[in-house]
Each structure stands twice: as C-alpha cells, then as structure tokens.
Amino acid sequence: MIRACSICKRLTEKRECDVCKNKDLSEEWSGIIAVMNPKESKISQKLDIQVPGLYAQYVRKL
C-alpha cells in the first residue's frame, strides 16, 4: 500500500516518511508529482521539494 506523508506529501510504502521522518501517513491521496531534478524544476521550487522522488498532489489528513 502506498501512503503519502501528511507534511511533505512524499509517497512511500514504508511506515515512516523517507524525507521528513514523519509517521503520520495517509492512504487517502490523489495525483502524482514526479521530481527528478529539484534544483532545476520550477514546480519543485514552488512546492519547496528538495529531494527527488514521487509526491502526492493532494493528501487528505486524517
């Protein structure tokens, strides 16, 4: 099951976010943002994403 971090929106299959170490993950998310090179990506700069990976566009916080 893929979950999204409620803080940074990083997608993960683990029980803890790889980026911010948050354990509050949600199974209710939608949309995927793929960031390959955050230093050159305008969307990653706008969303303050600094680590390459997959992120949810929307995360429902439970």
What digits encode the pLDDT tens for the residues 1-30? 999 999 999 999 999 999 999 999 999 999
Q: Which fold has domain 3-59?
A: Rubrerythrin, domain 2 (2.20.28)
Query: What is the token pair recorded at 58?
Result: 């929307």
- The residues spanned by each domain of the chain are 3-59
Query: Amino acid letter at 25?
Result: L
Question: Could you tell me the pLDDT band of residue 58, with boundaries at 50, 70 and 90?
Answer: very high
Overall size of the chain counted in residues? 62
pTM of the model: 0.91
Compute how many other C-beta atoms are within 10 angstroms of the C-beta atom of residue 41: 16
Q: Based on C-alpha coordinates, what's the Rg of the chain?
A: 11
Indicate if the pLDDT at residue 62 is higher than 80. Answer: no
Distance CA 42, CA 62 (A): 29
Number of neighbouring beta carbons within 10 Å of residue 30: 10
